[in-house]
Amino acid sequence: ELATTLNEYFGAMGEVIDRHGGVITLFEGDLMLITFNALRDDADHAASALLTARAIQQIANGRTFGPKGSLLKTRCGINTGEIVIGAVGAKDRLVFTVHGDNVNIAARLEQLNKQHGSYVMLSESTANAVAGRFATVRTTEVTVRGRAAPTVVYVLDCEAPLAENAMPRDASPAG
């Protein structure tokens, strides 16, 4: 039953992630690690990530999953920056994944949503990359574990209408 629910959920989310150019690099429990501009070139990957997060929220809020009709709330943490991508592990057990400080920041933002009652948090680097194109609200500054400098945190208003220029540059609307 749990596997059926998660597979239905991951299937629905995977479609929208793929439509916006994202790549799922990890499934762990009910978590998905998604990257943009890592395997597919996307010069406006921050906008693609935010459009994906908005669509994920619309799906999660608009339907149930699995045989018991479970409501699954989804939290997203989005950060923009350099990452290390590739296969890691033992010689006979390699796994394709992403690593780096920017991946860790996104993971911490996802977790921080709970404390703030939000569902999509993004870093200042992401907010700057999409400035004026999405409804974001500066929420707080946090010191992310393992970093000395605080990270400025924004929340995405997924209910706000999209600006006319919200679509990724050099992209057509995802259908």
Burial 54-75 (b: 16+ CB within 10 A, else e): bbbbebbeeeebbeeeeebebb
pLDDT tens, residue by residue, 124-160:
999 999 999 999 999 999 887 778 889 899 999 998 8
| pLDDT at residue 109 in the model | 94
pLDDT tens, residue by residue, 48-58:
999 999 999 99
| pLDDT at residue 173 in the model | 47
**What is the residue whose two structure tokens read 């600006």?**
163
152 contact partners, CB below 8 Å, separation of at least 6: 123, 124, 127, 138, 140, 141
How far is 7 from 22, CA to CA, in rounded Å? 18
Q: Which residues of the chain have pLDDT under 50?
A: 172-175
Q: Which whole-number Å values give the CA distances from 74 to 50, 136, 164, in the listed order? A: 14, 18, 26
